[in-house]
Structure 1
Amino acid sequence: MDILVCIKRIPDISGQVTLDASGTDIDDSSLGHTTSAHEECAVELAIQTAAATDGTVTVLTVGPAEAVEQLRAAVAVGANDGILIEAEDPGAFGPEDIAQIIGDVIRDRAEQGQSFDLVLLGNDAADTGDFQVGIRLAYDLEYPVLTGIQTLASGGDSAGSDGSGTIEARGIGPTGTEVFALELPAVIAVQEGGVDPRYPSITGRMKAKKARIAEYEAPEPGTGNPRIGLELPPEKTSEVTILGEGPDAAGALVDVLEEIGVIRS
């Protein structure tokens, strides 16, 4: 089974987050970059499924030239190759644009003889909270789609030479685990929690440096990004009470510990 995994270069927001001058995006000039946990799990599921079906894994991203870093990171853990659709300002593209661009590249690769039986994405964009690209891509490709999936299992009829077949997909529903048999080719949006992404080996890192990365130029945005602004949450404030200094604080400290139940009088 040949699998395409769509990933996204996102800022690492574990540090201080500020907005850019436009107020519509995060200022990532001083931040590191990574991929979301959803997409890391999607890569892991793709590697496992491809290994079980004698297939391949290709990773794709729409982003600046620096996004090749995230593609090579995926190759380092087991993907075969990557596709970079270069867009210097990915924030200018809306979910509909991104889905259309990816769909066009999938069709172009098919014309070149590289067809994908399964397309995996993260369930939602970790930086913008969009839940749209997977569904819009499936609509563009006229493929069936599932979202919120955590595990995959290939069956005996998975991915024939013409791309036909089925795959079993499981996700957490309102009342428990839901199990689906999805006809291929298909699009699946992966939610974290079903698998543990692997770490790269030294051999994998060396392989990633030499991996083939096909490059495309993103067209001008068609629909554009409908987001007109972002607002940072209000800063949290806290109060600090000085109990005293030295031995004078002992009595007040005992009172506080008794109040919260740490000690009993």
Structure 2
Amino acid sequence: MKTVLVTGCSSGFGALTARAFAEAGYRVVATMRDPAGTDPGIFAGAGTIEVRALDVTDGDDVAACVAAVLADHGRIDVLVNNAGVHLLGAVEDMAEADLETVMRTNFFGVLALSRAVLPAMRRSGGGHILTVSSVGSRVGRVMDGIYCASKAAVESALEAMCYEVARFGVRVAVVCPGAFRTGIDRNFTLSDAQARSPYAALQRYRLERVREACRDGGDPAEVAAALLRIAGDPAPAFRHLVGDKAIALDAALSAADGEARAELLTRFSGIGWWIAGAAGPEAER
């Protein structure tokens, strides 16, 4: 039985991915920061799933978790880096602690897990390292710049790793979803400081647009299915766009440069009113 280690499994993509792999016959080690605070029924009837605590931002915790899985099961065939943090806000407004939290989780945490499993994968002659990124890695979305930056950074590092480890039979790939109905929009709020900032009107507008996109997004099981499919591919491509909106946005960005790109991003974000100095977006709604 192949073993897959999945991070960020308390809900959303992570929980669905753990279930999908278990139902496909994998032994799943589903990790999360606080198993005690997670609904124990989310994996009911799914197959072989072990739940373990893991904080991906703690290097010692990462090393101990990987060592324990290897001691118990002898190998890790697939790593799915799903744990992530998504905080919204204008770049100027983001608190230093929030900047560090996003990068520690979305960048350093992913690299820590990936580096930790590589020695065992090399010894066993192969494996898959899969990471849930975002179509946001392709563009600096307004009020989402730090999150997008973390995804762009981790994709660059993983793309280099993809070629570095290929000779050892290790395959590295990223999945880039668009908006999906994971419920993450319920966590999006503006702080008191943001509500008083010069960007307050823009932030309120973009927050509502992001919430709408999430509510109208696709079925998150599509992302879990994509990860399962890639894990079974002996030679997957590096980047996989998931969802019609992600595919359409990526195609539009690829075809645009200079002024065309600026126009596309302004229209995509619906912020022409802000750039023009208007008080609100009513003219574009």
TM-score range, shorter-chain basis? 0.3 to 0.5
TM-score calculated relative to the size of structure 1 = 0.39
Give the number of the structure whose residues are more often helix, by fraction.
2
Q: Which structure has the greater CA radius of gyration? A: 1
Higher strand proportion:
1
Normalising by structure 2, we get a TM-score of 0.36
